[in-house]
Amino acid sequence: MQEQVLRGGQVTGAVRVGDTVRRPAGRGFYGDPEFVRDLLLFLERTGWAGAPRFLGSDRQGRQILTFLDGHVAWDWAGGQPEAVSGDASLARAGELTRELHDLTTGTALAGDSEVVCHNDLWPGNIVYRDLGQGLRPVAFIDWDLASPGERIHDVARLCWQYAGWWEGSDPAEVGRRSTVICDGYGLADRSPLVETVLWWQERCWRGIDQAAEAGDSAMAGLRASGAVEEIKAAHAWVERHREELH
């Protein structure tokens, strides 16, 4: 059966084969494929529909996952339907994140941490479907970076990528959109949000740099595309508007 490279597959190596997705079991310096397998199997046992199902491995050692049909917001340059970034989608993304966290809190997978985090939440890793009221988030994909973590980690990542914590944004609107996400999640203590966004941004640019220097071709490509400088600029923007965003 013919393989179709998926958007984002240039980094992850993911391809579609029929109704399945095949992903390399490791991605350079990132991720723990055994942990991801165990997490997806656990989520399947709970009946949660917000993640693909793990089906095993193929002859090439790639993980086989179910393909989740729907809209994935990869191409921002080409424009996206308004509903993708509308308030209803922001709130629903927060709700989905809360569902994941509540399912994993207190489990062996979470270990000594609060929950299991996806760690790469942005519109390009969210599947949207129209269930009668326009496009809404229904599931998360690309679980390669999942690990034990704290609730604020995923919420802050979602706010950064979904509410626009970067150069050129209006701080008041960023704050408003972040509030919609946090309300959807039901986050009570939001005081660590700004510091956690800054932590994520620094972690991301340093991670890309270090992996590129160590020979990871995908991360080298990201760095060459200007990703590191873009994230550094976003970090500087958050620092400048820290007080407005609290």
pTM of the model: 0.93
Mean pLDDT across the stretch 43-69? 96
C-alpha dihedral, 164 to 71 to 181 to 185, nearest 10° = -150
Q: Quick one: which of 185, 30, 31, 36 has its CA closest to 109? A: 36
For residues 130 and 196, membership in a common domain is answered with yes
Q: How many domains does the chain have?
A: 2
Among residues 165, 232, 226, the alpha carbon closest in space to that of 204 is found at: 232
Write down the pLDDT at residue 166.
Answer: 97
Residues 80 and 185 in one domain: yes
CA 29, CA 207: separation in Å to the nearest integer?
A: 9
Contact status, residue 111 vs residue 38, Cβ threshold 8 Å? no
Q: Are 176 and 44 in contact (CB under 8 A)?
A: no
Q: Are 181 and 161 in contact (CB under 8 A)?
A: no
Same domain? For 98 and 160 the reply is yes
Same domain for 129 and 18, yes or no, is no
54 plus 93 within the same structural domain: no
pLDDT higher than 60, residue 29: no
Where does the pLDDT of residue 217 fall: very low under 50, low under 70, confident under 90, or very high at 90 and above?
confident
Mind listing the pLDDT tens digit for each residue in 69-85?
999 987 666 678 889 99
Q: Dump pLDDT digits (tens) for 127-143.
A: 999 988 899 999 999 99
Same domain membership, residue 163 and residue 43: no
Q: Which domain holds residue 21?
A: 4-66
Of the three residues 66, 88, 116, the one that is the final residue of a domain is: 66
Q: Compute the distance between CA of residue 6 and CA of residue 51 in angstroms, rounded to an integer.
A: 17
Q: What is the CATH number of the domain that holds 133?
A: 1.10.510.10
What is the model's pLDDT at position 52? 98
Residue 20 shares a structural domain with residue 119: no
Residues 131 and 172 in one domain: yes
Helix axes 33-46, 87-104, angle to 10 degrees: 100
Mean per-residue pLDDT, 48-58: 97
Helix%, strand%, coil% for the chain, nearest 5:
50, 15, 35
Last residue in a domain, options 43, 66, 89: 66
Residue 25 has pLDDT above 90, yes or no: no
pLDDT tens-place string over residues 100-126: 999 999 999 999 999 999 999 998 999
